[in-house]
Structure 1
Amino acid sequence: MARVIEGKQAQLRMAVTVLLAEGHLLIEDVPGVGKTVLAKALGRSIAGDVRRIQFTPDLLPSDVTGVSVFNQSTREFEFKKGGIFANVVLGDEINRASPKTQSALLEAMAESQVSVDGTTYPLAEPFMVIATQNPIEMEGTYPLPEAQRDRFMARITMGYPDRRAEVAMLAHHAGGDELAAVHPVTDVATVTAAIRAVRAVYVAPVINDYIVSIVDATRHHPDLRLGASPRAGLHLLRASRVVAALSGRDYVIPEDVSALAVDVLAHRILPTVEAQVARRQPAAIIRAAVAAIPLPERR
Structure 2
Amino acid sequence: MTTPRLQPDPAVGPEAGDVVAAVATAFSAKVVGQADLRESMLLVLLSGGHLLIESVPGLAKTTAARVVAEAIDGAFRRIQCTPDLLPSDIIGTQIYEAASNTFATQLGPVHANIVLLDEINRSSAKTQSAMLEAMEERQTTIAGVEYPIPEPFLVIATQNPVDQEGTYPLSEAQTDRFMLKELVQYPSVDEEVEIIGRMDAGLYDRGHHAAPVVTLADVRRAQAAAQAVHLDRALVQYASRLVGVTRDPERHLSPNLARLIEYGASPRATIALCRTARAMAVLRGRSHVLPEDIARLAHRVLRHRLILGFEAASARVTPDVVIDAVLQAVPVP
TM-score bin, normalised by smaller chain:
over 0.9
Deviations 1:171-193 (A, max 9, x none): 11145451736332111110011
SS of residue in 1 equivalent to 2:93: strand
Is residue 2:147 matched to residue 1:121? yes
Q: 1:248 aligns with which of 285, 293, 303?
A: 285
Report if the CA contact (8 A) 1:107-1:114 is conserved.
yes
Q: Is the 8 A contact 2:76 2:113 kept in 1?
A: yes
Distance in structure 2 (CA, Å) of the matches to 1:76 and 1:32: 44
Distance 1:173 1:137 in 2: 27
Q: Residue in 2 aligned with 1:79? A: 105
Partner of 1:185: 213
Q: Which moved more, 1:273-282 or 1:229-238?
A: 273-282
* Amino acid in structure 2 at the alignment position of 1:266: R
| Counterpart secondary structure, 1:141 | coil
Cα 1:174–1:96 change in 2 (3 A) is farther
Number of residue pairs aligned between Structure 1 and Structure 2: 296
Task: State how far apart, in whole Å, the 1-side matches of 2:203 and 2:129 are.
Answer: 33
Structure 2 counterpart of 1:2, from 28, 32, 35: 28
Classify the secondary structure of the residue corresponding to 2:56: coil
Contact 2:48 2:154 in 1 (8 A): yes
Letter of the aligned partner of 2:124 in structure 1? Answer: S
- 2:55: which partner in 1? 29
Instruction: Give the counterpart letter for 2:232 in structure 1.
Output: A
CA contact (8 A) 1:94 1:132 kept: yes
Map Cα deviations across residues 190-248 of structure 1 (whole Å, 9 max, x no partner): 00111111111111111111111011111122221111111111111110000011112
The amino acid of 2:226's aligned partner reads V
Q: Which moved more, 1:275-284 or 1:160-169?
A: 275-284
In the other structure, the counterpart of 2:94 is: 68
Give every structure 1 segment of 4 or more consecutive aligned residues whose post-TM-superposition deviation is greater than 4 Å. Answer: none
Partner of 2:188: 162
Equivalent position of 2:244 in the other structure: 216
Aligned to 2:72: 46
Instruction: Give 1:251 shift.
Output: 1.3
1:125-144 aligned at under 5 Å gives the runs 125-135=151-161, 137-144=163-170
For residues 182 and 294 of structure 1, the distance between their equivalents in structure 2, rounded to whole angstroms, comes to 45
1:200 is the counterpart of 2:228: yes
Could you tell me how far apart the structure 1 residues matched to 2:299 and 2:209 are? 32
Q: Which amino acid aligns with 1:140?
A: G
Structure 1: gaps spanning 5 or more residues: none
Per the TM alignment, residue 277 of structure 1 is displaced from its structure 2 partner at its CA by 2.1
Aligned position for 1:291: 328
What secondary structure does 1:6 align onto?
coil
Amino acid in structure 2 at the alignment position of 1:256:
D
Residues 2-57 of structure 1: per-residue CA shift (max 9 Å, x gap): 12211212211111111111001111111111111111111111111001111111
Q: Which runs of 5+ in 2 are unaligned?
A: 1-26, 250-257
Superposed CA RMSD in Å reads 1.5
Q: Displacement of 1:163 after TM fit?
A: 0.8
Report how far residue 120 of structure 1 moved: 1.1
The 3-state SS of whatever aligns with 1:84 is coil
Question: 1: CA distance between counterparts of 2:240 and 2:195?
Answer: 42
Identity of aligned residues (%): 44
Equivalent position of 2:265 in the other structure: 228
SS of the aligned residue for 2:141 comes to: strand
Secondary structure in structure 2 of the residue aligned to 1:2: helix
**Is structure 2 residue 306 aligned with structure 1 residue 269?**
yes
Does the CA contact (< 8 Å) of 1:114 and 1:123 recur in 2? yes
2:138 corresponding residue in structure 1 = 112
Counterpart in the other structure of 1:18: 44
TM-score normalised by L of structure 1:
0.95
What is the letter of the counterpart of residue 154 of structure 1? L
